[in-house]
Structure 1
Amino acid sequence: MTIFETARFSLPLLAAGQAHKELFHNDALILLDFLVHPVVEAIANDPQSLSPVAGQCWLVGLAAIGEWSGRENQIAGWSAGGWHFIKPQKSMKITVRETNQLALYREDGWWFNADITTPTGGNNIDSEARSAIDSILAALKVTGILPEIGQNDSGLS
């Protein structure tokens, strides 16, 4: 039996002689729109509490209810046709707009940036070294590359 979806993100594929190909094609484009540089508004459990606008996405929390039940850790994107769900893949990265955090999906769930503090205190203070460390940390934060990633206390795993 032929599978008519992509292996990684289950995007719908077209088949020879398929009726209403434009529906499948448009559905694939909507999912790709959510996947290219993915940004979620926040982490949520109840879609009824939201007033989504087409193109907005949320990260489904661990206590999902209603239409989102059974979709924990997935990305829920809203379009004129309703909710679309994307199963995250290992090493997938998203931005959470509400907290301005980057998140990375690992086999055991979503992991979020940990705050890295600049050095303080000490008996022998090297101001040049501290300045260099501050510059490195600033560059890592701007690019989204951090040496330490910690799990968020949001309950997602």
Structure 2
Amino acid sequence: MSNDVTPRLSLPFVAAGQAQKHITVNEALGKLDGLVQLAVQSRTTAAQPASPADGAMHILPSGATGAAWLGTAAGLLARYADGIWETLTPKAGWLAWIIDEGLALIHDGEAWTPLSSTFKALTAARSPFLAASRFEILEQELTLSGASVATTVTIPNRAIVLGVSTRTSVAVTGATSYSCGVSGDAAKFGSSLGVAKNASNVGVIGPTAYYADTPVVITAAGGSFTGGKVRVSIHAMRFDAPAAV
């Protein structure tokens, strides 16, 4: 173990006989405030915010721009405190709530992946090549406007979808009902869905494979959306290939 920082969160230790110990203690408390119950504003914001709130946290996407973000590796955490941005390297097992998507992620040591209801059907003990199958629920709350709104959370490429469920979290205005589907099949997961708060639908389908990242689309009926929110949950199975040799 390093004599300077803790092994998991890299919190600085106070050295024996150190002057101004409060500086080191405050630095450690600041990191704890950001990393414990980790919640990030977004994982898709590429432009460094001009006026972030103190304590703001982001997962950096590819191609991030800005004085402090430019050239940083995708997947790093960026934390804003005391007027500066600090990048932090996540480790395997870290959990994060993505505020703008309403989605939980877990870091597997290489990348952030959705956490919701992840299930490894095959383990190393049963599969020497480390292939695996897992069930996931990918979720997002949409703010409705216009004729239709698409999710930024997508049905993953090479996933099998069992259904998409919805719940009206804020009463819908402008439309008399709505459909849930995908581009080219607006009602694939349900039509004439309720606009009142807490109206819900479970759009079960026969297992369907998708071969490209595919957004779910909420389409207005009887008029365009002028307000309201809908929570969308994609129920899917995903598959991992055998490990590299």
The reply to whether TM is greater than 0.5 is yes
Q: Per the alignment, do residues 147 and 36 of structure 1 end up closer, same or farther by CA in structure 2, a change over 3 Å counting?
A: farther
Q: Per the alignment, do residues 10 and 147 of structure 1 end up closer, same or farther by CA in structure 2, a change over 3 Å counting?
A: farther
Structure-1 separation of matches of 2:82 and 2:238: 36
Q: CA deviation at 1:75?
A: 1.4
Structure-2 separation of matches of 1:28 and 1:96: 23
Structure-1 separation of matches of 2:86 and 2:26: 12
Q: Which residue of 1 aligns with 2:53?
A: 53
Contact 1:45 1:60 in 2 (8 A): yes
Structure-1 separation of matches of 2:41 and 2:238: 20
Structure-2 separation of matches of 1:148 and 1:32: 35
Q: Higher Cα Rg: structure 1 or 2?
A: 2
Alpha-carbon RMSD across the aligned residues, in angstroms, is 2.7
Contact 1:111 1:149 in 2 (8 A): no
Structure 1: gaps spanning 5 or more residues: 123-145, 151-157
TM-score w.r.t. the length of structure 2 is: 0.45
Q: CA deviation at 1:6?
A: 1.0
Q: Per the alignment, do residues 18 and 45 of structure 1 end up closer, same or farther by CA in structure 2, a change over 3 Å counting?
A: farther
Structure-1 separation of matches of 2:79 and 2:238: 25
Structure-1 separation of matches of 2:236 and 2:204: 19
1:31 counterpart SS class: helix
Q: Give the number of the structure whose residues are more often strand, by fraction.
A: 2
Q: Per the alignment, do residues 73 and 120 of structure 1 end up closer, same or farther by CA in structure 2, a change over 3 Å counting?
A: closer
Q: Which residue of 2 aligns with 1:7?
A: 7
Aligned AA for 1:52? P
Q: Give the number of the structure whose residues are more often helix, by fraction.
A: 1
More displaced stretch, 59-68 vs 109-118: 109-118
Matched, 1:95 2:97: yes
2:27 counterpart SS class: helix
Structure-2 separation of matches of 1:149 and 1:22: 48
User: 1:97-142: per-residue Cα shift (whole Å, max 9, x none)?
Assistant: 11111111112201125256346357xxxxxxxxxxxxxxxxxxxx
What's the % identity of the aligned pairs? 24
Structure-1 separation of matches of 2:60 and 2:36: 18
Structure-2 separation of matches of 1:37 and 1:100: 15
Structure-2 separation of matches of 1:6 and 1:55: 21
Structure 1 residues 1-157: aligned runs within 5 Å: 3-43=3-43, 44-47=45-48, 49-65=49-65, 66-68=67-69, 69-112=71-114, 113=116, 114-115=138-139, 117=164, 118=202, 120=204
TM-score w.r.t. the length of structure 1 is: 0.67
